[in-house]
Amino acid sequence: MEVKKAVIPAAGLGTRFLPATKSMPKEMLPLIDRPVIQYVVEEAIASGIDDILIITGRGKRAIEDYFDNSPELEMHLQQHHKEALLKQIQDISSMVDIHYIRQKEPKGLGDAVLRAEKHVGDDPFAILLGDDIIVNDVPCTRQLINVFQKYRCSVLAVEQVPDHKVSSYGIIKGKPVEDGLCTLEDIVEKPPLEQAPSNMGAIGRYVLTPEIFDCIKQTKRGAGNEVQLTDGIRLLKGFQKVYGFSFHGRRYDTGDQVGYVQAIVEFALNNPELRENLLEHLKSLVK
C-alpha cells in the first residue's frame, strides 16, 4: 500500500524563538530565502506524497497565505519582467494539494495528530515535524515509506542523541532486526538521562497506520502535561509491530536556536552565490 498522505503539525507556540514568534509562526522562520516549512513540504512531495494536511493554530495564518496564490505580487513581478522570481512564487502555490485544520488548544503533539483523523481515514500516513530539516538524496520520509512497504508496519526515524539532549526526545528501546532497523520494545517521552532506555531518540519523521488514532484517544496527558504522540505509539506497539529506522541524511534541528543558526550557515555555504563571501567573512572573525 502506497503512502500518499502526510500530516505536518504546525500549531506549536514557538516559545524558544520569542519575541520573534510573537507575531510570526516559527515554521515561517527563513533559511536564506525560504521558510523552514517549505523544506518540509518539499521533502513530502519528493517522497511521493500528493495530499498534505497542515495542523495550524491561532496566529498561524501566515502559513496558509504563503502557500496560496498571490495575484498582486505576481502581477508586480510580471510587469517588471522578473520572470525567474515569478516562476518561484507560482511554483509555491501549485506544489501539491494542501489542506488545513486548527488545533484550538496547544494540548501536545498527540492531540495535534488526532485532529487529522477524519482527513487520513483508513490510510497509512506520514508525519513530518516542521522543526526538523533532513537533507539526503533519498528523502527521509521516502526511506520510512520504503520500510513500511516492506514490513507493513508503522516506522519512526531515530538517531543517536547526545546525553544532554536525551531528556528532550522520545527515547526508544529496540531489538535489532537488520542493519539500521529495530523493533520497538519501549519508547519513553523526555526521560531523565539516568532513566532512559537508550540514547536513541525519535526525531520528527514517522509513517504510521491509522490505528494510532485510537491509541492516542486512550492516552492521558503525559510529559509537560500534554498528550504525547510517543505515548500513543507505546500503546500501538502492544498489538502490532512498530519499527525504528536509523535514517540516512544530515538533520538540522531548527526548533533549537543553535541548530537553526547552524542550518543557516551550512545552507549558505552550500549556495554557490553566497559561499565565497560568507567564507571570507567567517575567516575574518577568527583572526
Query: Within 10 Å of residue 34's Cβ, how many Cβ atoms?
Result: 15
Over residues 12-47, the pLDDT tens digits come to 777 788 888 888 888 888 888 888 988 898 899 889
Over residues 200-236, the pLDDT tens digits come to 898 889 999 999 999 999 887 767 677 889 899 999 9
Share of the chain above pLDDT 90, in %: 37
Contact 204, 255 (CB under 8 A): no
CA angle 106, 112, 114 (to 5 degrees): 135
What topology is assigned to 5-255 in CATH?
Spore Coat Polysaccharide Biosynthesis Protein SpsA; Chain A (3.90.550)
pLDDT value, residue 89: 61
Domain residue extents for the chain: 5-255, 257-287
191: amino acid identity, one letter: P
- Given a cut of 60, is residue 92 above it in pLDDT? no
Most confident of 4-18, 49-63, 218-232, 257-271: 257-271
At 132 the three-state DSSP class reads strand
Average pLDDT, the chain: 86
Over residues 244-255, the pLDDT tens digits come to 999 999 999 888
Q: Is the pTM here over 0.85, yes or no?
A: yes
Backbone φ and ψ of 82, nearest 5°: -100, 70
The gap between the terminal CA atoms of the chain, to the nearest Å, is 57
- Given a cut of 90, is residue 256 above it in pLDDT? no
pLDDT value, residue 285: 87
Confidence of residue 98 (pLDDT cuts 50, 70, 90): confident
